[in-house]
């Protein structure tokens, strides 16, 4: 048993060291909030893939698109359905889809992929329609959703494949879409559907097996000194053409087109003349292939030049579990497209095409540029007026040489564990007068992480489990006006508030959360939203950058929990930390305890091995958390161990009563969030979270106990028959006289917990009868075995358990 404990202690130390090294580089959420059933949830039996959302604050609804269904949900409580319309695939269309090799019950359905507002009451909606994309118009009036039945060809507007990444945007009455235009998905296109439709060239130098992610509009013509045009920006990943690898390597891109683009007169007819693309740089600390962009959110600024794109990246390799968030300013992207060098293809000796920086003369007007004051002075008022030299250049060289670098030079956030999937960002005005960008990031296992950057310090305030089962979050939408976040997945849609300040019960918890939404209101003695504070916020306390709790009242003393100490037993003292970032420090008689062959310190408590009378005294569990250069230390649990002298129970018949003593404590640690990434187990033979292992261990202990008792019985029989000396054993006269007191039924009560001394039958108090002694030797040489259930009890190992863990 000592060898097992030693090995477990060594493994625990290695895991703790490994985690501490990782946490120095990768962000760890300070709090973990596990799933709570009070979250507002919407789902309907038989309906799946809730992955398209449109917030209509003006109508008070959230429009939710799923498989063959569109819902109008109350924006304040999405569990309330106001209206619904079902758009199912006709049987004939479904049969045609299956004839083409698609699955009838999965792919050959109508997945709603497009929801865009056209006016106050009308929405443009498109669905995959069994690999035959179709669009229609839908109205919401008088509490009813109605499809108008004016179906249009959806090819190029909506994907054929319901699981293919895709993006679209409505600008005025023009639909911009990025998808595949054919059944096989081999002809990607960036399309503008309008009276003057434009699309990209079918050339791999333009798009090479892309995965489209995000599209948004930027009004760059506003207050533009050079008379520039508005832009549409697109984020996607594709196979790289600039790298020489033995296999295909994907890279992340940002592309743009001009709103006023009308195509070329002869070259690039009905094609984009302003299509440019550049690589997005977001370097991971570990050597790896270029990361892949998964989602983007545009945080708009009143000065559009200061607007920022926040992007989520994940690794190409499935072996890596690192995700990142990088931020890019519109100005940085604009600078690359307006002033950067181009890449061009050159032939090498092996007839292989290599892409290098173009060093030749660049035509005027600049290829890929929108019509601006420079072009107008040259008599070019539309893209139709551009010379062929400029159009031919951009047709063959749409890729920029330089990559777009992140705003901070590298990732804003690095996260190890379940991959990040979606992101939205909200701006919060804090009490210090500064505006903080709070990121809400979905994960592949159904969590939302809430993070903020404080002058270069990335801090994850909390991670919240929004789905009971681990399911990937496929869409996130934010309503700042309502203070609500909406998420969609395969199984349903949920709604959660942007902040839940009431979760922090004390001033210290409120301040240390460093949540820009929350502040401690001294007048009401509660943690409140900064938006709900009284007219005079002078009584509110908030310390976001420093986490300074000096203005909080001193916490009261922690009451000690009295526990009985029985020499020879192992004692577990639970201690629940208030933060995933905190470290546990244990003190005993003014000594700082370390993990060794006597003590095992882990994230949820202290294990004292093979106790003795010298272990009696006061034990203090301290939670130590570092915020920048500031150390915050608070005692969260105190235990008083006292040596227990049990009452001697006289056996009703001559012989030896063999028994064990166990202490069962009620849960004393403060209940709080537990990190899902670094949970530890005690270094014991049993794992209390695995009932199968416990059952097998019980059987093993029972069999071993029976074997030992049988062996004792044989020895006693031989002794009775006079054959004892044949084995060379010397009789110990004291052995037959010694009696160990029975602990059949004893209670010790204190102010915080009820201590129970249990017999061999764990989990309930033992009744006062002789059947619960391990062995009862009678004067006539007979012996009786106890019931198997008593022998097989796990508590025969002598551990002290938390009552909630048994």
- pLDDT for 678 beyond 50: no
DSSP state for residue 31 in the 8-state scheme: E
**762 within domain boundaries:** no
Confidence class of residue 658 from pLDDT cuts 50, 70 and 90? very low
**What are 363-419's pLDDT values in tens digits?**
999 999 999 999 999 999 999 999 999 999 999 999 999 999 999 999 999 999 999
Confidence class of residue 722 from pLDDT cuts 50, 70 and 90? very low
pTM of the entire predicted model: 0.78
As a whole number, the mean pLDDT across the chain is: 81
- The predicted structure's pLDDT at residue 716: 53
Over range 265-274, report the average pLDDT: 96
Which residues lie across from 450 on neighbouring strands? 440, 462
What CATH number is given to the structural domain containing 635?
Answer: 2.60.40.10
Q: Taking the CB of residue 386, how many other CB atoms lie within 10 A of it?
A: 26
Tell whether 434 and 379 lie within a shared domain.
Answer: no
According to DSSP, the β-strands at 518-521 and 526-529 are antiparallel
Over range 687-712, report the average pLDDT: 46
- Which of 23-32, 77-86, 706-715 shows the lowest mean pLDDT across its residues? 706-715
Residue pair 239/250 in contact (Cβ under 8 Å)? The answer is yes
**Neighbouring residues of 752: CB distance < 8 A, sequence distance ≥ 6:** 559, 561, 562, 666, 668
Tell whether 335 and 221 lie within a shared domain.
Answer: yes
Over range 178-193, report the average pLDDT: 95
- pLDDT for 709 beyond 60: no
Tell whether 67 and 151 lie within a shared domain.
Answer: yes
**679 within domain boundaries:** no
- Which of 239-253, 322-336, 572-586, 658-672 shows the lowest mean pLDDT across its residues? 658-672
- Name the domain count of the chain: 5
Confidence class of residue 286 from pLDDT cuts 50, 70 and 90? confident
**682 within domain boundaries:** no
- The predicted structure's pLDDT at residue 706: 52
Tell whether 83 and 188 lie within a shared domain.
Answer: no
- The predicted structure's pLDDT at residue 539: 82
Tell whether 126 and 192 lie within a shared domain.
Answer: no
Residue pair 468/416 in contact (Cβ under 8 Å)? The answer is no
**What are 625-645's pLDDT values in tens digits?**
998 888 999 999 999 999 987
- pLDDT for 545 beyond 80: yes
Tell whether 562 and 635 lie within a shared domain.
Answer: yes
In Å, how far from its chain's centre is CA 348?
Answer: 47
Tell whether 536 and 606 lie within a shared domain.
Answer: no
The residue ranking higher by pLDDT, 225 or 351, is 225
Q: Looking at 138, 164, 190, which one is the last position of a domain?
A: 164
**What are 739-796's pLDDT values in tens digits?**
333 333 333 333 333 333 333 333 333 333 333 333 333 333 333 333 333 323 323 3
**763 within domain boundaries:** no
- pLDDT for 520 beyond 70: yes
**272 within domain boundaries:** yes
**What are 334-349's pLDDT values in tens digits?**
999 999 999 999 987 7
Q: What is the dihedral of CA 787, 789, 792, 797, to 10 degrees?
A: -100
Distance (Å, rounded) from C-alpha 242 to C-alpha 239? Answer: 9
**703 within domain boundaries:** no
Residue pair 385/379 in contact (Cβ under 8 Å)? The answer is yes
Confidence class of residue 39 from pLDDT cuts 50, 70 and 90? very high
Tell whether 404 and 453 lie within a shared domain.
Answer: no
- The predicted structure's pLDDT at residue 689: 34
- pLDDT for 661 beyond 90: no
- The predicted structure's pLDDT at residue 806: 30
Confidence class of residue 802 from pLDDT cuts 50, 70 and 90? very low
**What are 131-151's pLDDT values in tens digits?**
999 999 999 999 999 999 999
- The predicted structure's pLDDT at residue 756: 34
Tell whether 598 and 529 lie within a shared domain.
Answer: no
Distance (Å, rounded) from C-alpha 358 to C-alpha 130? Answer: 45
Q: Looking at 135, 164, 193, which one is the last position of a domain?
A: 164
Residue pair 459/452 in contact (Cβ under 8 Å)? The answer is yes
Q: Taking the CB of residue 740, how many other CB atoms lie within 10 A of it?
A: 17
What CATH number is given to the structural domain containing 513?
Answer: 3.30.1680.10
- The predicted structure's pLDDT at residue 320: 85
- pLDDT for 17 beyond 90: no
Q: Which domain covers residue 509, as residue numbers?
A: 501-541
DSSP, collapsed to helix, strand or coil, labels residue 724 as helix
What CATH number is given to the structural domain containing 326?
Answer: 2.130.10.10
Find the farthest-apart pair of alpha carbons in the chain and give their distance in angstroms, rounded: 125
Q: Taking the CB of residue 550, how many other CB atoms lie within 10 A of it?
A: 9
Tell whether 326 and 257 lie within a shared domain.
Answer: yes
Tell whether 181 and 196 lie within a shared domain.
Answer: yes
Cα angle 433, 438, 440; round to 5:
165
Distance (Å, rounded) from C-alpha 625 to C-alpha 28? Answer: 13
Tell whether 131 and 157 lie within a shared domain.
Answer: yes
**745 within domain boundaries:** no
Q: Looking at 116, 145, 164, which one is the last position of a domain?
A: 164
Q: Taking the CB of residue 661, how many other CB atoms lie within 10 A of it?
A: 21
Confidence class of residue 555 from pLDDT cuts 50, 70 and 90? confident
Q: Taking the CB of residue 109, how many other CB atoms lie within 10 A of it?
A: 23
Over range 353-365, report the average pLDDT: 92
- Which of 244-248, 253-257, 474-478, 799-803 shows the lowest mean pLDDT across its residues? 799-803
- The predicted structure's pLDDT at residue 246: 75
**709 within domain boundaries:** no
- The predicted structure's pLDDT at residue 656: 31
DSSP state for residue 740 in the 8-state scheme: P
């Amino acid at each position: 048993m000592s060898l097992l404990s030693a090995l477990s202690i060594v493994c625990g130390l290695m895991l703790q060291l490994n985690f501490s090294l990782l946490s120095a580089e990768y962000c760890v959420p300070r709090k973990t909030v596990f799933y709570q059933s009070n979250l507002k949830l919407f789902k309907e039996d038989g309906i799946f893939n809730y992955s398209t959302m449109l917030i209509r604050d003006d109508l008070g609804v959230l429009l939710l698109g799923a498989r063959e269904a569109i819902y109008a949900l109350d924006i304040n409580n999405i569990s309330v359905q106001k209206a619904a319309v079902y758009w199912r695939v006709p049987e004939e269309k479904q049969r045609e889809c299956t004839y083409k090799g698609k699955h009838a019950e999965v792919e050959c359905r109508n997945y709603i992929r497009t929801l865009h507002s056209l006016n106050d009451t009308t929405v443009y909606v498109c669905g995959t329609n069994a690999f035959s994309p179709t669009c229609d118009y839908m109205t919401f009036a008088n509490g009813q959703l109605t499809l108008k039945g004016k179906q249009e060809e959806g090819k190029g507007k909506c994907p054929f494949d319901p699981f293919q990444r895709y993006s679209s945007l409505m600008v005025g009455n023009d639909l911009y879409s990025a998808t595949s235009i054919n059944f096989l998905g081999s002809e990607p296109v960036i399309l503008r559907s309008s009276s003057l439709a434009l699309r990209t060239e079918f050339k791999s130098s333009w798009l090479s097996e892309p995965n489209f992610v995000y599209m948004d509009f930027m009004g760059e013509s506003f207050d533009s000194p050079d008379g520039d045009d508005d832009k549409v920006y697109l984020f996607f990943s594709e196979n790289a053409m600039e790298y020489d690898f033995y296999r295909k390597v994907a890279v992340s891109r940002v592309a743009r087109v001009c709103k006023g683009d009308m195509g070329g007169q002869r070259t690039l007819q009905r094609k984009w003349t302003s299509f440019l693309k550049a690589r997005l740089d977001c370097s991971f600390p570990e050597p790896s292939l270029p990361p892949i962009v998964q989602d983007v959110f545009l945080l708009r600024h009143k000065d559009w030049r200061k607007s920022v794109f926040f992007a989520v990246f994940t690794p190409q390799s499935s072996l890596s579990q690192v995700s990142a968030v990088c931020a890019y300013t519109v100005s940085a992207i604009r600078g690359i497209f307006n002033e950067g060098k181009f890449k061009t293809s050159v032939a090498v000796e092996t007839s292989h095409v290599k892409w290098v920086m173009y060093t030749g003369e660049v035509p005027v007007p600049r290829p890929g540029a929108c019509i601006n004051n420079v072009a107008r002075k040259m008599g070019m008022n539309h893209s139709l007026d551009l010379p062929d030299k400029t159009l031919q250049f951009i047709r063959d060289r749409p890729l920029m040489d330089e990559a777009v670098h992140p705003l901070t030079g590298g990732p804003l956030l690095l996260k190890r564990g379940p991959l990040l999937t979606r992101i939205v960002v909200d701006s919060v005005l804090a009490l210090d007068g500064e505006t903080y960008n709070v990121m809400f990031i979905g994960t592949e296992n159904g969590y939302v992480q809430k993070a903020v950057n404080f002058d270069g310090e990335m801090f994850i305030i909390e991670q919240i489990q929004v789905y009971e089962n681990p399911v990937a979050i496929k869409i996130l939408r934010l309503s700042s006006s309502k203070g609500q976040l909406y998420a969609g997945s395969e199984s349903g849609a949920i709604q959660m508030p942007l902040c839940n300040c009431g979760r922090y019960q004390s001033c210290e918890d409120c301040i240390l959360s460093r949540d820009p939404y929350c502040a401690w209101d001294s007048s009401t003695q509660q943690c409140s939203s900064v938006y709900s504070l009284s007219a005079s916020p002078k009584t509110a306390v908030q310390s976001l950058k420093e986490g300074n709790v000096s203005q909080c009242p001193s916490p009261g003393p922690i009451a000690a929990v009295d526990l009985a100490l029985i020499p020879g037993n192992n004692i577990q003292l639970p201690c629940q930390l208030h933060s995933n970032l905190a470290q546990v420090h244990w003190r005993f008689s003014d000594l700082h305890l370390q993990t060794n062959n006597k003590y095992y310190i882990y994230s949820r408590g202290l294990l004292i091995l093979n106790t003795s009378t010298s272990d009696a005294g006061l034990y203090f569990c301290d939670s130590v958390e570092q915020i920048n250069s500031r150390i915050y230390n608070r005692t969260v649990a105190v235990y008083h161990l006292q040596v227990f002298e049990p009452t001697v129970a006289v056996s009703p018949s001559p012989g030896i009563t063999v028994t064990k003593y166990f202490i069962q404590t009620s849960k004393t640690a403060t209940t709080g969030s537990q990190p899902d990434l670094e949970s530890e187990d005690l270094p014991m033979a049993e794992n209390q979270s695995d009932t199968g292992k416990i059952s097998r261990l019980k059987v093993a202990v029972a069999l071993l106990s029976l074997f030992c008792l049988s062996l004792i019985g044989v020895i006693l029989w031989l002794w009775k028959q006079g054959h004892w000396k044949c084995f060379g054993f010397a009789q110990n006269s004291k052995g037959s006289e010694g009696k160990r007191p029975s602990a059949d039924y004893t209670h010790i009560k204190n102010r915080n917990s009820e201590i129970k001394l249990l017999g061999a039958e764990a989990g309930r108090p033992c009744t006062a009868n002789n059947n619960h002694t391990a062995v009862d030797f009678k004067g006539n040489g007979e012996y009786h075995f106890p019931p198997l259930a008593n022998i097989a009890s796990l508590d025969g190992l002598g551990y002290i358990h938390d009552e909630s863990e048994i």
